[in-house]
């Protein structure tokens, strides 16, 4: 069976700045993959490219065996829209639709995009809100929800489209510390009971170690090291990985200078 995602020799730049440079990554279907690395290492860009929000300059990206990006050529909008249906994304800043209730956020796309009958979409939407622990907030507006609640609605919203691949872009980074747990619990539950492919860009190392089948460490726009969590988190072989893990696991202590 083909992989869920396949990045081959991907180069992505913003003007002069190379964000991804010879990036290679293969994600088998059903894998729970965590991507870690210092800020600016290109982690989020990987997800944005997979979601077809951004193109690339060189290389190739395949989603479920279909070509999404082939060099700098931009596929027709129709193709992009079709491929986007395979993937779902949860954003750092939630990006809920402020003019819709929680339930409408969750069921608008199934109705508008997939043509699911409204009653059916709403019933499914309520199930999903229940799954993320927000059954009682169906009629609340986003502005009435806490950050953790907003992010859980955003997860339900992405799930409603039943994507094969889910992309989580630093989904707890914008949250107050006391709300991180509730969102991680939802993800933990999701990882355990679903056979979706999940890519998580995260700064929660312990959590990554807990739910990921594999952790990828990125720096400077490429994969520096990867492996099963227990190995990568406790016995990293690359000096850069070691330095990064030291700096995030013991915040405040300066990583030793690199040569």
Partner 1 sequence: MPRPAHCVPQRWTNKPVSGLIELLPTLLEGLRLTLQITVVAAALGLACAVVAGLAREFAPRPLNWLAATYVEVFRGTSALVQLFWFFFALPLMGINLGAFLTAVLVLGLNTGAYGAEVVRGAIGAVPRGQWEAAASLGYGRAGTLRRVIFPQAALAMVPPTGNLLIELLKNTALVSMITLSDLTFRAQMLRAETLRTVEIFLLVLLLYYLAARLITHGMGRLERHLARGRDHGGSLS
Residues contributing to the site for partner 1 (CB under 8 A): 51-53, 77, 81, 84-85, 87-89, 91, 93, 95-104, 107-109, 111-114, 118, 139-141, 143, 154, 157-158, 161
Which residue, 66 or 112, has its beta carbon nearer to partner 1? Answer: 112
Confirm if 133 and 179 have CB atoms less than 8 A apart.
no
Handedness of CA 151, 153, 156, 158 (dihedral sign): negative
Which residue, 74 or 118, has its beta carbon nearer to partner 1? Answer: 118
Which residue, 18 or 100, has its beta carbon nearer to partner 1? Answer: 100
- Both tokens assigned to 202: 């995260």
Confirm if 137 and 153 have CB atoms less than 8 A apart.
yes
Which residue, 164 or 248, has its beta carbon nearer to partner 1? Answer: 164
The Cα 44–Cα 202 span in angstroms is 9
Burial class (CB in 10 A: 0-12, 13-18, 19+), 60: middle
The Cα 217–Cα 180 span in angstroms is 22
Which residue, 112 or 178, has its beta carbon nearer to partner 1? Answer: 112
HSE (CB half, 13 Å, CA atoms) of 217?
24
Residue 103 Cβ vs partner 1, minimum distance, rounded to whole Å:
8
């Amino acid at each position: 069976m083909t992989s869920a995602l396949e990045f081959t020799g991907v180069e992505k730049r913003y003007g002069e700045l190379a964000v991804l440079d010879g990036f290679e990554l293969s994600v088998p279907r059903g894998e729970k993959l965590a991507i870690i690395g210092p800020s600016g290492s290109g982690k989020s860009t990987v997800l944005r490219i997979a979601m077809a929000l951004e193109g690339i300059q060189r290389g190739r990206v395949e989603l479920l065996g279909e070509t999404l990006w082939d060099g700098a050529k931009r596929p027709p909008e129709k193709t992009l829209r079709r491929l986007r249906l395979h993937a779902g994304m949860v954003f750092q800043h939630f990006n809920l639709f402020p003019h819709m209730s929680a339930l409408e956020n969750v069921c608008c796309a199934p109705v508008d995009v997939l043509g699911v009958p409204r009653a059916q979409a709403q019933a499914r939407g309520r199930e999903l809100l229940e799954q993320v622990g927000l059954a009682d907030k169906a009629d609340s507006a986003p502005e009435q929800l806490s950050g953790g609640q907003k992010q859980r609605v955003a997860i339900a919203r992405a799930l409603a489209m039943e994507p094969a691949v889910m992309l989580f872009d630093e989904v707890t980074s914008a949250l107050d510390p006391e709300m991180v747990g509730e969102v991680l619990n939802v993800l933990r539950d999701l990882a355990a009971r679903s056979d979706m492919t999940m890519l998580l860009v995260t700064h929660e190392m312990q959590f990554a170690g807990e739910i990921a089948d594999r952790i990828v460490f990125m720096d400077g726009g490429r994969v520096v090291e990867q492996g099963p969590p227990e190995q990568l988190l406790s016995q990293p072989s690359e000096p850069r990985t070691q330095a990064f893990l030291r700096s995030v696991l013991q915040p405040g202590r300066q990583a030793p200078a690199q040569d």
